[in-house]
Structure 1
Amino acid sequence: MKKFLSLILLFGAMSCDSFLEEPARSTPTLNEIFNSESAAVSFVNGAYANMLENDWWQINFFRQITDMATDDGWAGNTEQPRPDITSIAHYNNIDIGSSYFQTFWNYQFRGIAKCNVIIQEIENVDFDEDLKNRLIGEAKFLRGFFYFELVKNFGGVPIVKTFDELLQADVTKYSRSSEQEVYSLIEEDFLDAIERLPLKSQYSSNDLGRATKGAAQAFLAKVYLYQERWDEVVTLTKQIIDSGQYQLESDFARVWNVTNPNGIESIFEVQYKSDPTFRVGGVFGVTTGSRNDGGWNWGVPSSHLEKAFLDEGDIIRLRSTIIKHGEPVFGDPEVTSFNAAPDRNKSGRINRKFYIPQEHRAIPYVQTNLPLNHILMRYADVILMHSEASFNIGNRSEALNSLATIRQRVNLTTDMSLSGDALRDAIWKERRLELALEQQRLYDIRRQKINGTPVINTIFGPNGSFVVYNTQVSDDSFELANINEDQAKGRTFDPSKHLLWPIPTSEIQLSNGRIVQNPNY
């Protein structure tokens, strides 16, 4: 905990730059820094930065690893052996001291600390009350988001609600709150944010990308989804649908198009732009790209995912999700035969959603200089949450109608006679295909249950469906030819521990053991 506290105490200089122009005299107090409308806005802007840091290894790469740890992808890069990455992706001797867990944990608490300062200090600053109310709403939304990221990855974590708690208390006294206690705080924050935040349409173009009422509703709906509180999910998703603020893109290819930032389907996305001087661009197009195309080959799609699209006859979403070696790149006429470097790439495939066509690439084309925004919540996800929750409260027709809405966009018909387990499975399959490679799959297969058993337990393990497919069924020429990444990925999955990631070792040590490790790590 001392480690995350030391990071927290550094944030002020990164959140407000006005005092940096003055010669150093003494350490400014919090009141001296947080003393104006511009300082309040800067603090909020600084909190947004912790959602997806633009450096690849801090938060972005951890998010990529979560997709590697599913049946949708492989670690991918077989040219550079990285057991620190593959051990997590394969559930094999995971290092509980991994810097990926530690850094992700630290950055969430760093963001929480920034939000706590805003919530604690903003009432002491005299400026426009409407703006002040909105900024509090943004801070509440962001704090809810950071705690949601922590609880869904690590389970119960320490709860810190004010900045003074850290300054006045011995941080080694902190211990883990229960999962339910964390969820309760998240719910409180999102509910407060809903009351304070404007609709997307009420923001000026300069403020697009800030948290909105719809974003707070959508994330709260997902919080309820993870807790199987189906009635609340239905209520919130229906409110979003009825608001008229969002639509499905008529063309699926526009969802992740670099020329369509903050589109009609986007509910919340991280804002990136190309700026090689200040390095405020994205990273995913490079880190997931081909090593023969300026990329690093991490987080590559599996043939198992491609087969799921083909089995469904879903060519429209497939071509906008996966680029395969030797084939043209959909939406990039300059590339008629893509080189995915299959000798250095486990699957000979890359993620199309994060790919930037040649004509839209920034110069230099490197990580932290990519202009593609990163979508964290979109309208299709809300419709699918509505479908799943409607099914679980027994409203079959509403579940089918929402399912059909998603499928109609990509010219797929829906069997309106579906019911029971078949309908449930159809909704889950649709989530996989619609949201593939968007860093949603791991959390879905952990929470989805059949007779009380998480779906991930049936995908991985010695007899898991993904393991059996890769070792006994698959005839994929790329994956079988490149055995530098173990074909039996996931056979060592242990359902008694791998439903959560380990608490970073340093946090346990620095808390003098008050923070307890997750089971069986």
Structure 2
Amino acid sequence: MKTLYKATAIATFTTLLLSTGYSCKDSLDINPQAQITEEQIISDPNVATNLVTGIYNIFFAGDAFGNDVRGFQFTILGDIASDDADKGSTPQDYGDANAIDQLQANGNNGVVNNIWKGYYQAIARANQALSQLQNAQFDATTKNRLIGEARFLRGMFYFNLVRIFGGVPLLNRVPAASEVNLPQFQTRAAAADIYKFVIDDLTFAANNLPVIANNSADVGRASKGAAQALLAKVYLYNKDYQNAYNTSQAVITDGTYGLLNDFTQLFRQSGNNSRESIFEIQAGQNLACNAAIDRFTVAQGPRAGGKNGWVDRGYGFNNPSVSLANEYEPNDVRKNATIITINPSNGANSVGTILYDGFRVPTQDSVQNQRYNYKAYYSREAEPNCGNPDRLPKHVMVIRYAEVLLIHAEAASQIGQGGAARTDINALRRRAKVAELTGIPTLQQIWHERRVELAMEQDRFFDLVRQDAVQPGRAAAAFTADGKTWNATRAVFPIPQQQIDLSGGNLKQNPGY
């Protein structure tokens, strides 16, 4: 277990967001082992570091079916809503997720409300830490590094919020008690203003965070490379291709990161914090058995159905689609490393599906659905855990070097650097053991590569919306191939009605909901 995510002594400051209900919390949700004064925070860099650690711990603070930042609820939006995955389980199981799968959610959907509350809790933590760090009296390098970590995380939180909802309330600081009901904290900023805020946060982070090698004691904390990689992605979303190219190029030429040689190892414990990892949510074991994202693995695991009698691996949600399975080229090693395919029954010759750790998943007559997310699988027998299947210590990859190559390739294509794009794409194809491209890759070829490389990593829905803004009709065609009906108003999710009500109507709903 990395020190980064342990529950450590954290100041019991009030993390006030909005008194009208935007996820008010009374503390940082970390169990304090001692009382810490403001004077200690501003004078002791170790104490200040613990305060920033409280922001990272938000990844573990949620519930698989409650407030969430990067767990199962986020998976519903990033994967299940897309053409890469179907809800899974039974048709009646978890109606809110089913509505999102069918692109029919409304403002009363619990998933979007859980995400809204989880992210504003996360932003509250970041703002609370920043409000204290501004007054720090220790050396400027350490102070700016800690501020850079907090701003990286806040920038990431707002980047996801703007992709999910469009414009949202912009809280750039902790409101004073007399300010919490001011309209500026209860109304939606324009999406363009949110993106500008994100770019400002990530630029500061990139300029002030250190390079962190993946064998460093600080692995898992935000780094210069993480800030640059995420900033390049934000530029891509804003069609600022020159900056996306330059910023991703900086990550590539730095030499800190590279592709892991064997793709099949990336999402196993042996692949944790590999040379390919740029920002990865850490997980591990502790006495409380809560140092992991609640049910991230179990919610996506193979589920018993039909002929039972086997110890299943989970709830059966987030199943790779036929559309995704058909996207892979023959012999692409990424397919079998991404999709657990449940074999059909074959009488006495039925052996089921044997996973990499030797665990046997029975044939189709005993398993609820036909495909499962291999990237979310964690072996309970072959890999360490503390005995709580709901808190299996599965790391979650947020951004990795392969995505930087894909960002670089797409930006290169858009600015007329086709040769660079081919180099990037062929590096991924060589590892995947498929034929390299001989010509300059088209945008469609780059997008194909992006899909099969990053499938089931909770990003496809947002990326497909982004692609549709570049090439109108792209999303409709993709969703049609998956049996869904696309409506452009579904490019963002509905603002939770509960939050509109709590704001006294100051928050306005997205068009079409």
1:321 equivalent among 312, 316, 338:
338
Say which SS state the counterpart of residue 49 (structure 2) adopts. helix
Q: Which residue of 1 aligns with 2:309?
A: none
Q: How far is the alpha carbon of 1:338 from its aligned partner?
A: 2.1
Verify the 8 A CA contact 2:126 2:150 in the aligned structure 1: yes
In the aligned structure 1, how far is the partner of 2:233 from the partner of 2:110? 28
Mapping of 1:233-312 within 5 angstroms? 233-275=244-286, 277-282=288-293, 283-292=295-304, 293-309=312-328, 312=329
2:436 equivalent among 406, 414, 437:
414
Q: How far is the alpha carbon of 1:340 from its aligned partner?
A: 6.7
Unaligned stretches of 5+ residues in structure 2: 1-16, 305-311, 344-351
Q: Indicate yes or no: 2:76 matched with 1:68.
A: no
Tell me which amino acid in the other structure corresponds to 1:349: R
Deviation string 1:78-126 (CA, Å, 9 cap, x unpaired) is 175222210111113x131222211211221222122222222213233
Q: Which residue of 2 aligns with 1:430?
A: 449
In the aligned structure 2, how far is the partner of 1:235 from the partner of 1:144? 19
Q: How far is the alpha carbon of 1:392 from its aligned partner?
A: 0.8
Q: Indicate yes or no: 2:446 matched with 1:453.
A: no
Q: Which residue of 2 aligns with 1:122?
A: 133
Mapping of 1:191-206 within 5 angstroms? 191-201=203-213, 205-206=216-217
Q: Indicate yes or no: 2:26 matched with 1:10.
A: yes
Verify the 8 A CA contact 2:127 2:174 in the aligned structure 1: yes
Deviation string 1:423-476 (CA, Å, 9 cap, x unpaired) is 11111010110011011111111010387415222223xxx2222xxxxxxxxx
Q: Indicate yes or no: 2:462 matched with 1:443.
A: yes
Tell me which amino acid in the other structure corresponds to 1:244: G
Q: Which residue of 2 aligns with 1:81?
A: 93
Deviation string 1:257-278 (CA, Å, 9 cap, x unpaired) is 1123211000001011134624
Compare 187-196 and 119-128 and name the one that shifted more: 119-128
In the aligned structure 2, how far is the partner of 1:52 from the partner of 1:232? 33
TM-score by length of 2: 0.86
In the aligned structure 1, how far is the partner of 2:91 from the partner of 2:141? 54
Verify the 8 A CA contact 2:74 2:115 in the aligned structure 1: no
Structure 1 pair 185–451 and aligned structure 2 pair: CA distance change class (3 A)? closer
In the aligned structure 2, how far is the partner of 1:79 from the partner of 1:344? 15
Q: What's the RMSD between the two structures over aligned residues? A: 2.5
Q: Indicate yes or no: 2:114 matched with 1:103.
A: yes
Q: How far is the alpha carbon of 1:42 from its aligned partner?
A: 2.2
Say which SS state the counterpart of residue 367 (structure 1) adopts. helix
Verify the 8 A CA contact 1:249 1:264 in the aligned structure 2: yes
Say which SS state the counterpart of residue 268 (structure 1) adopts. strand
Q: Which residue of 2 aligns with 1:507?
A: 499
Structure 1 pair 445–388 and aligned structure 2 pair: CA distance change class (3 A)? same
Structure 1 pair 102–315 and aligned structure 2 pair: CA distance change class (3 A)? same
In the aligned structure 2, how far is the partner of 1:136 from the partner of 1:193? 8
Tell me which amino acid in the other structure corresponds to 2:179: Q
Q: Which residue of 2 aligns with 1:355?
A: 377
In the aligned structure 2, how far is the partner of 1:451 from the partner of 1:380? 22
Q: Which residue of 1 aligns with 2:416?
A: 394
In the aligned structure 1, how far is the partner of 2:500 from the partner of 2:45? 39
In the aligned structure 2, how far is the partner of 1:108 from the partner of 1:451? 28
Q: Indicate yes or no: 2:389 matched with 1:366.
A: yes
Tell me which amino acid in the other structure corresponds to 1:77: S
Q: Indicate yes or no: 2:30 matched with 1:19.
A: no
Deviation string 1:462-514 (CA, Å, 9 cap, x unpaired) is xx2222xxxxxxxxxxxxxxxxxxxxxx23x322x200001111221122222
Say which SS state the counterpart of residue 259 (structure 1) adopts. helix
Identical positions, percent = 30
Q: Which residue of 2 aligns with 1:183?
A: 195
How many aligned positions are there? Answer: 475
In the aligned structure 2, how far is the partner of 1:395 from the partner of 1:349? 38
Q: How far is the alpha carbon of 1:379 from its aligned partner?
A: 0.1
Verify the 8 A CA contact 1:261 1:373 in the aligned structure 2: yes
Deviation string 1:333-383 (CA, Å, 9 cap, x unpaired) is x23x5237666634x111111112332253525112x12210000000000
Verify the 8 A CA contact 2:168 2:188 in the aligned structure 1: yes
Say which SS state the counterpart of residue 263 (structure 1) adopts. coil
Structure 1 pair 313–130 and aligned structure 2 pair: CA distance change class (3 A)? same
Tell me which amino acid in the other structure corresponds to 2:382: E
In the aligned structure 2, how far is the partner of 1:456 from the partner of 1:107? 28
Deviation string 1:220-267 (CA, Å, 9 cap, x unpaired) is 111111111110110011100000000100000121111232110000
Say which SS state the counterpart of residue 30 (structure 2) adopts. helix
Verify the 8 A CA contact 2:42 2:138 in the aligned structure 1: no
Q: Which residue of 2 aligns with 1:483?
A: none
In the aligned structure 2, how far is the partner of 1:109 from the partner of 1:405? 38
Q: Which residue of 2 aligns with 1:23?
A: none
Compare 508-517 and 398-407 and name the one that shifted more: 508-517
In the aligned structure 1, how far is the partner of 2:119 from the partner of 2:470? 34
Verify the 8 A CA contact 1:191 1:216 in the aligned structure 2: yes
Tell me which amino acid in the other structure corresponds to 1:382: V
Q: Which residue of 2 aligns with 1:40?
A: 48
Q: Which residue of 1 aligns with 2:490?
A: 498
In the aligned structure 2, how far is the partner of 1:249 from the partner of 1:159? 38
Q: Indicate yes or no: 2:325 matched with 1:331.
A: no
Say which SS state the counterpart of residue 75 (structure 1) adopts. strand
Say which SS state the counterpart of residue 323 (structure 1) adopts. strand
Q: How far is the alpha carbon of 1:411 from its aligned partner?
A: 1.5
Q: How far is the alpha carbon of 1:11 from its aligned partner?
A: 2.6
Structure 1 pair 343–63 and aligned structure 2 pair: CA distance change class (3 A)? farther
Mapping of 1:110-149 within 5 angstroms? 110-149=121-160
Say which SS state the counterpart of residue 271 (structure 2) adopts. coil
In the aligned structure 2, how far is the partner of 1:252 from the partner of 1:405? 12
Verify the 8 A CA contact 2:81 2:102 in the aligned structure 1: yes
Verify the 8 A CA contact 2:18 2:181 in the aligned structure 1: no
Structure 1 pair 363–204 and aligned structure 2 pair: CA distance change class (3 A)? closer
Q: Which residue of 2 aligns with 1:474?
A: none
Q: Indicate yes or no: 2:401 matched with 1:376.
A: no
Q: Indicate yes or no: 2:208 matched with 1:227.
A: no
Say which SS state the counterpart of residue 296 (structure 1) adopts. coil
Say which SS state the counterpart of residue 113 (structure 1) adopts. helix
In the aligned structure 1, how far is the partner of 2:367 from the partner of 2:166? 36
Verify the 8 A CA contact 1:447 1:455 in the aligned structure 2: no
Tell me which amino acid in the other structure corresponds to 2:86: W
Structure 1 pair 129–4 and aligned structure 2 pair: CA distance change class (3 A)? farther
In the aligned structure 2, how far is the partner of 1:236 from the partner of 1:156? 25
Compare 232-241 and 445-454 and name the one that shifted more: 445-454
Verify the 8 A CA contact 2:18 2:180 in the aligned structure 1: no
Unaligned stretches of 5+ residues in structure 1: 21-27, 468-489
Say which SS state the counterpart of residue 361 (structure 2) adopts. coil
Q: Which residue of 2 aligns with 1:150?
A: 161
Verify the 8 A CA contact 1:51 1:146 in the aligned structure 2: no
Structure 1 pair 56–35 and aligned structure 2 pair: CA distance change class (3 A)? farther
Say which SS state the counterpart of residue 402 (structure 2) adopts. helix
